[in-house]
Amino acid sequence: MSEQLPAILLVAPLFGALLIGVASPGDPRRAFPIVLLSLSISLAATVALLTKVVSSGPVDYFLGGWAEPLGIGIQLRVDGINALILVFIALIGLLTAIFSYRGPDDGEPTDKAPLFYILYLLLCVGLLGITITGDAFNVFVLVEIASLTSYGLVAMGSSPRGTLAAFNYIIMGTIGASFYLLGVGYLYMRTGALNMAQIHSLIALPEVAASQTILVAFLLILVGVWIKMAFFPLYGWLPNAYTYCPSGASGILAPLVTKVSVYVMIRVMLSVFGAGWVFQSAGWSQTVVWLAVIAILAGSFIALAQVELKKMLSYLIVAEVGYMVGGAWLANHWGMVGAIYHILADAAMTLCLFLAANIFVKHAGGGRIDRLEGLFRRMPVVAGAFVVGALSMIGVPPTGGFFSKWYLIRGGIEAGQWPFVAALILSSLVNAVLFFRIFEVAHFGRKPADGHHHHPPHADGEPSPEQQGTIGETTGSDRKPRLTAVAPLVAAAALVLLVGIFSGPIVEIIRGALQGMPHVGAAAPLIGR
C-alpha cells in the first residue's frame, strides 16, 4: 500500500467532504468527526511519505498508470522539499479543524457549519494537490480549487466587509490564476509538453531556451503567482480578506495559502525552468531582490500603522512573503534553503499568531489592539503561545523564525545583497516594536472602564484545560477559551519551537532535495558545496 500514499493523502479529505455532504445536512456534530478522521488519515499518509522520501529518495506516482511514455498522463512527484510542506499542510489543516470545532465563527454551531467543513476539507485537498503535483497544468486546476474554496470561506462570514473583501479577492485571484494559465499556454506552445520534468528537459535545448515565448511565459507565471502570494505591489486583496473572514477560515488561509504559492514559485523556478535558466542574467535576480526589499519594508511599516490586531498580522504576512521571494532570488544555496525553510517556519508561526489573535479578538469583543488590555493575565496559556509566535516573528532563538532569518542573512551576505540583509534586520526590529507594544497593552494595560465583558476584577490563573473544556461546553460562555481552541494553539506554539529545535535535520532534508535536482552544472551555486 505504501506506493499508493500520494493518492491516499489527497483522496481522504476529498471523500471526507463528500461524506459530509451526503450524511449530515445541518448537523455540525456529525460532520466534525469526519473532518478529523479524514485529515488524520491524510496526515498519517504525509508523514509516511516523508519518511519514505528521506530513506529512499524522491517518489513518482503516475495517475491512471500512464507512466510510459513520460508526459501523456499526470505525474505526482514528491521530493524532500514538498514532502515537508505536505506534512505541514496536513498538520495545520488538522489543528485548525480542531480549532473550528464549533463551525466557522467559533460561536454557536450554525446550519452552515457542514458547508464550512466541506469547503475546508476541499481547501486542504487543493493545497495538498498543488504541492504534490508534477504537472504544470494540474497546478492550475488545484490552484482554482484552493482559490474557490477560499473565496467561499471568506465570503461566508457575517461581516459585510468580508464579503467585499471576497469580491476583490475573486477579481485579483482570477487575474493571478489566469496569468498562470496563460504562462503554461505559452510554455505549451513552444515545447508541446505539460509535464514539469518534460518541459524542463526541453527548455534545456538552446533554440527553445533563447525564445521570447519562454521568457514571456516565465514572466506571466511569475506575476500570476506573485498575485496569489500577495507579493508587495500586488497584495491589495490580502489584508481585508484575512481580517474579516470567519476565524476558522483565517486559521488555515493565513498560514497556508500564501506559503503554498511561494512553493509554486520555487517549484516553477527549480523544476520547470531550471535554476540555470532562471538565474542566467544577474540583472533579473537583482531586480526581484530589490522588489523583495521594498515588500519587506512596506509590509513591516504598514503593519506598524495598524490599529487592528488581525490586520496588523496580515501586513506582516506581506512582509514575510518578501523574505521568501527575496531568499529564493538570491540565486545561491543558503538563500534558497532559507526561503524553503521559512515556508515551514512562517506557516507554523502564522498559525500560532492567528489562532491566538482569533481567541483574543473574540474575548476582547473587538479587533482593535487597545481593547486587548489585561487579556494576558486572564488567559496566560493563550498569551504564552502568542508570545512564542511573536518571538519567532521577531527572530529570537530557538524559534523557527530565528533560524530562517539566519539562513536568509547568510545567503544575503554570500550574495552581497546588503540591502536585503539590512531589510531583514530592520524588519526584525519593527516586529519587536510591534509585538512589545501589544505585550505592553495586553499585559500591563488597565482594564477598560466600561467593561464590555463582565469578568471579575481579579484575574486568577486559568483553570486546567480539562476544566476549561467542560466550562466552555456546558455554559457556552465565551469568558474562558475552550479546550478545543487552546489545545491546537498550544500545539502550534510547540510546532514553532520544534521547527526551530529540529532545524538541523529539516535543513538537511531540504539540502538533499536541492542536490537531487537535475542540471547540477548550470545551477552549481544553488546546489551548494
Partner 1 sequence: MDLLNQYLIPHFNYWAYVILMMIGMHAMIVKNNLIKKLIGMSIFQTAIILFYVSIGVKEGADIPVLHHHAPEVAESHTPAADPHHAVDPDHYANPLPHVLMLTAIVVGVSTLGMALAISQSIYKDFDTLEENEILAKIKQGGPGIDV
Partner 2 sequence: MKWIGLIAVVLTGALLLSAVGDFPDFGDPKSPANGGVGDFSVSQYYITHTEQDTKVPNVVTAVLADYRGYDTMFETTVIFIAGIGIIAILRSHPPGGRRGPAHPIDATVDGDHQRIIIGITCRIMIPIIQIFALYVVAHGHHSPGGGFQGGVMLGASFILIGLSRDLQAALARFSERRFIVLACLGVAIYAGFGLLCLLLERNFLDYGVLDGFFHTDPVMARSHGIFAVEVGVAFTVTAIMFAIYANLSSKGRLDEGL
Q: Which residues bind partner 1 (CB under 8 A)?
A: 137, 140-141, 144, 148, 151-152, 155, 159-161, 163-164, 166-167, 170-171, 174-175, 177-178, 181-182, 185, 188-189, 194, 244, 366-367
Among 59, 81, 98, 115, interactor with partner 2 by CB under 8 A: 115
Residues 35 and 16: beta-carbon distance below 8 Å: yes
Which residue in 34, 35, 61, 510 binds partner 2 (CB under 8 A)? 61
The entry of partner 2, partner 1, none that residue 244 binds, CB within 5 to 8 Å by partner kind: partner 1
In 3D space, the residue among 163, 299, 133, 171 whose CA is nearest the CA of residue 244 turns out to be 163
Q: Name 68's Cβ contacts closer than 8 Å, sequence gap at least 6.
A: none
What's the maximum distance between 2 C-alpha atoms anywhere in the chain? Answer: 75
State yes or no: residue 492 binds partner 2 (CB under 8 A): no
Considering only residues 175 to 194 of the shown chain, the ones binding partner 2 according to CB under 8 A are: 182, 186, 188-194
Q: Is 45 exposed, middle or buried (0-12, 13-18, 19+ CB in 10 A)?
A: buried
Of 250 and 428, which CB lies nearer to partner 1 in the complex structure? 250
Exactly one of 99, 151, 226, 329 binds partner 2 (CB under 8 A); which one?
151
Cβ neighbours of residue 31 under 8 Å, at least 6 residues apart?
A: 20, 24, 113, 114, 117
Cell of 400: 523557527
> Binding partner 2 by CB under 8 A: which of 56, 69, 449, 521?
69
Query: Which residues contact residue 379 at a Cβ distance below 8 angstroms, ignoring those fewer than 6 apart?
Result: 359, 360, 363, 462, 480, 481
Residue-wise DSSP of 124-174: HHHHHHHHHB-BHHHHHHHHHHHHHHHHHHHHTSS-HHHHHHHHHHHHHHH
Task: Name the minimum Å distance from CB 2 to partner 2.
Answer: 12
- Tell the smallest beta-carbon distance from residue 8 to partner 2 (Å): 8
Any idea how long the chain is? Answer: 529
Cell 487597545 belongs to which residue? 370
272, burial (CB in 10 Å: exposed 0-12, middle 13-18, buried 19+): buried
Q: Which of partner 1, partner 2, none does residue 112 bind to, with CB < 5 to 8 Å depending on kind?
A: partner 2
116, interface contact from partner 1, partner 2, none, CB < 5-8 Å by kind: partner 2
Query: Please, what is the minimum distance in Å from the beta carbon of residue 182 to partner 2?
Result: 8
Stretch that binds partner 2, among 57-65, 299-307, 320-328, 499-507 (CB under 8 A): 57-65
- With CA atoms as reference, report the closest residue to 130 among 256, 310, 293: 256
What is the rounded distance in angstroms from the CA atom of residue 152 to the CA atom of residue 211? 40
Of residues 30, 52, 112, 455, which one binds partner 2 by CB under 8 A? Answer: 112
Which DSSP category does 480 fall into?
S
Residue with cell 488545484: 142
C-alpha 529/C-alpha 527 separation (Å) is: 7
CB of 109 to partner 1, least distance (A): 21
Interacting residues of 457 by C-beta distance below 8 A, sequence separation 6+: 447
Nearer to partner 2, 152 or 400 (CB): 152
CB of 279 to partner 2, least distance (A): 21
286 binds, among partner 1, partner 2, none (CB under 5 to 8 A by kind): none
**Subset of residues 208 to 247 that bind partner 2, contact rule: CB under 8 A:** 208, 211-213, 215-216, 219-220
Told to check if 371 binds partner 2 by CB under 8 A, we report: no
One of 36, 37, 137, 414 touching partner 2 (CB under 8 A): 137
Tell me the closest approach of the beta carbon of residue 191 to partner 1, in angstroms. 12
Contacts of 168 (CB under 8 A, 6+ apart): 236, 237, 240, 241
Give 185 or 512: the residue with its C-beta nearer to partner 1.
185
Please give the Cα distance from 490 to 117 (Å, whole number). 22
Question: Does residue number 397 form part of the binding site for partner 2 (CB under 8 A)?
Answer: no
Given partner 1, partner 2, none, residue 505, with its beta carbon under 5 to 8 Å by kind, binds none
Binding flag, residue 294, partner 2 (CB under 8 A): no
Q: What is the DSSP string of 185-203?
A: HHHHHHH---BHHHHHHHH
**Placement of cell 467559533 in the chain:** 106
Which residues lie near partner 2 (CB under 8 A)?
4, 7-8, 11, 14-15, 18-19, 21-22, 25-26, 61-66, 69, 71-74, 111-112, 115-116, 118-119, 122, 125, 129, 137-138, 141-142, 144-145, 148-149, 151-152, 155-156, 163, 182, 186, 188-194, 202, 205, 208, 211-213, 215-216, 219-220
